[in-house]
Structure 1
Amino acid sequence: MPVSPELAEGLAAAVADLYEAAEGVLIGKIRRALAEGIDSPVWVELKLAAVGNLQAAITEVIAALQADASGAIGQALAEAYGRGQQAAVAELGALGVGQAAAAAAVLPTAPVVDRLAQAVIADTGPVHLRMLRQSMDVYRDVVSRAAAAPVLGAQTRRQAAQSALDAFADRGVRGFVDRSGRSWELRSYVEMAMRSAVGRAAIEAHSDRLGAAGVDLVIVSQSPEECPKCRPWERKILARTGVPGAREVQVEHATEDGEMVTVEVAGSLPEARSAGLLHPNCRHSISAYLPGVSRVPEPQASRGTYEDTQRQRYYERQIRKWKRRDAAALDDAAGKAARARVRAYQARIRELTAETGLPRKRHREQLTTAR
């Protein structure tokens, strides 16, 4: 069967769920710590005295997260690599061209999985320190704002605290800046890193198995609502390895001994991936191309545009944002207002999917709760 980053997408989401759940726990702990005794005249003194207790509680949450995440990352990558191997074996077996037995030969997997897992753990390592630092920073900021607000006459203490908590719920734990300068929220950052890793694991496993069976060419599928980076590679034949650049090659027919076939190769798989194909959110797949047997698929109509999919993703982020606001609400009025905004963005998604035919992805509208 063909392989794509989507093959292991659920594995990435499972790891990202751990971080989103932990972030929700942190927001809840800060909210409860601040809400306790908020109408007391000595509230500020009590909150400053409780900094150590809150820090200890947050540190405990982060330590549990770190232990769970390390194991989950390794397990997810091993599963992704296994799925990629199985996909190659199943694909060649279904084609019935005799290479399935060679593809099924045992290949060493531990070094590849360990390498990918260590890279993800190294990338997400700084996350845990930021979670502690930013959680404590927002707690101190809320106390500071709430203490000053009544004196300045700008807001009540509760309003000032709610305003600061809303800001934290909106941005979440941040500080992850990629090479393009984009700042990521916690779940998005972890999920991006994991999608990249599990997708790479599945694709490398698939390619390794095809190589073991002597299959050197692959073909890229067409995917609806494709992004500009992937569009040039759709329905193109690529070499699994080798030098970049388009060329015509003479290769032997997959089933007819001695018969040569001319194949137009658009480039190499590493070249296409470097250009953006099979990125973490990519819906394209690659499959074995057997000269003289495989056929280039016919073009398929899209349900919408790439811009439509990005608009849907924006609405999904807004729904999660206002659900975090609801979780951070100090009173019923703030929670009611946040839930109204959730319903408004859900209505926009319903309109978009009805208009374009795009599938609604309800799981992307949900916040993961702590186990």
Structure 2
Amino acid sequence: MRGVDPEAAYRTMKTLTSVWEVASERMLGVVARRLARGVTEPGWAESKSREVLLVRAELQAVVARYLADGMEAEAQAALDAAYGIGERVAEQLGEVAATTNPDRVTALVTRFVGQLQGTVVPVIRAHEDVYQRAIQDSESLMATGTIVRREAVAQAVADLVQAGEERFVDRSGRRWHLDAYVRMAGRTAAAQSAVEGQLDGLVARGRDLVVISDSPRECRKCQPWEGKLLSITGGTAIGSEVDGHRVAGTVEEAREGGLWHPNCTHRADVFTPGFTRVPVARENPEGYREQQRLRKYERELRDLKRGLSAVEELGDTQVGRAYRREIRAHTARLAAYAEATGQLRRRERERPVG
């Protein structure tokens, strides 16, 4: 019996993560609109420099409007639903059992909410920095005497967005756009909750063994576990043979070894002696590389659209027209690549707000 598809569980989080994606877009808009006001008036730079606290207040207002109330309850509901998806997979065995394990879901909720709350201060600070840097950089461009202020500000904003200066740094030191980080965290939490629901359901029905599916897009972290027989509880001796197949380890060991990392696509299929066919693991490093390159093209396209949205606040500019040309070219390149490689094109991943 096929295990729960981790990717399918993400739909339970879409409403919640979409709110954060909108907030991410609004924050860059706050910066761009504030820079655009009075851009043709004398003393623009001095005036904008005095408005830093106003920009901070507007950014905080975005956070308060979109992210403040009800987040924990919404996360709880979403991950409860994901857990239920996993439970329903176990229910296909046809045996009645009580499987709900609220402690597991609560722990995932706490971690997810903590991840998102931890982004608020650094992401506000990053957008403040973009605002201040744009003032300074546009003044430097103006000093050349070859560009009008509107174009100078648009170019400064574009350069900063292109460099990812509005990204924040997470605890591991990695730089993230808020929307990408939220998608990753939401997808991971939902997948983990769904898998937990399935595994708890299997244990409640007296099942202890699962076999990890073969994924066409495995990475080095999870590839060693493909086609391996695992004990959910550790109750089945490691190294023992069941129906001619060796028990390679526990689910917890596999998880600690990298299985079900963010965006992992592997299932834990139910193992029934005499019925389950254990898949032969087939390495496909090229498929993984192709997928990662497509993700790179998607990120680049999102960055271009994010930059265009910001510079459009300054009206019709050469920078904006250049963005549109580049977006058309990049979209065509991405589409051609997806068709040539057979990789699934997900258009929602090509937009800053999905």
Cα gap change, 1:60 to 1:70, in 2 (>3 Å): farther
Distance 2:14 2:237 in 1: 35
CA contact (8 A) 1:244 1:271 kept: no
Query: Which residue does 1:75 correspond to in 2?
Result: 77
Distance 2:175 2:137 in 1: 25
TM-score by length of 1: 0.84
Query: Which residue does 1:88 correspond to in 2?
Result: 90
For residues 1-371 of structure 1, the aligned pairs below 5 Å read: 1-67=2-68, 69-90=71-92, 92-93=93-94, 100-102=95-97, 105=98, 107-151=99-143, 153=145, 156-170=148-162, 171=164, 173-179=166-172, 181-242=173-234, 247-249=239-241, 261-297=243-279, 305-329=287-311, 330-332=314-316, 333-368=318-353
Match for 1:146: what amino acid? S
CA contact (8 A) 2:225 2:254 kept: yes
The answer to which of 144-153 and 286-295 deviates more is 144-153
Distance 2:141 2:352 in 1: 32
The answer to which of 279-288 and 6-15 deviates more is 6-15
Distance 1:271 1:299 in 2: 19
CA contact (8 A) 1:303 1:358 kept: no
Match for 2:20: what amino acid? Y
What secondary structure sits across from 1:264 in the alignment? strand
What secondary structure sits across from 1:328 in the alignment? helix
CA contact (8 A) 1:316 1:365 kept: yes
CA contact (8 A) 1:243 1:267 kept: no
Distance 2:91 2:175 in 1: 40
Instruction: State the percentage of identical aligned residues.
Output: 35
Distance 1:229 1:50 in 2: 48
Match for 1:349: what amino acid? L
Cα gap change, 1:127 to 1:178, in 2 (>3 Å): closer
Deviations 1:160-190 (A, max 9, x none): 32233124433163232353x4322222222
Distance 2:142 2:18 in 1: 39
Cα gap change, 1:119 to 1:36, in 2 (>3 Å): same
Distance 2:134 2:338 in 1: 40
CA contact (8 A) 2:119 2:170 kept: no
Distance 1:63 1:275 in 2: 38
CA contact (8 A) 1:12 1:198 kept: yes
CA contact (8 A) 2:179 2:352 kept: no
Cα gap change, 1:148 to 1:366, in 2 (>3 Å): closer
Match for 1:295: what amino acid? R
Distance 2:159 2:139 in 1: 17
Cα gap change, 1:5 to 1:223, in 2 (>3 Å): same
Shift of 1:285: 0.7
Deviations 1:14-48 (A, max 9, x none): 44332221121112222121112111112234323
Cα gap change, 1:291 to 1:334, in 2 (>3 Å): same
Shift of 1:311: 0.8
What secondary structure sits across from 1:219 in the alignment? strand
Shift of 1:13: 4.7
Shift of 1:301: 9.4
Unaligned runs of 5+ in 1: 94-99, 251-260
What secondary structure sits across from 1:39 in the alignment? coil
Shift of 1:262: 4.8
Count of paired positions? 348
Distance 1:75 1:127 in 2: 22
Larger Rg: 1
Distance 2:217 2:126 in 1: 37
What secondary structure sits across from 2:353 in the alignment? coil
CA contact (8 A) 2:228 2:247 kept: yes
CA contact (8 A) 1:176 1:185 kept: no
TM-score by length of 2: 0.88
Shift of 1:50: 3.5
Shift of 1:243: 8.2
Deviations 1:82-131 (A, max 9, x none): 111112112x13xxxxxx213xx2x3443322221111122222211123
Cα gap change, 1:280 to 1:37, in 2 (>3 Å): same
Deviations 1:196-230 (A, max 9, x none): 22221111111111000000000111111322222
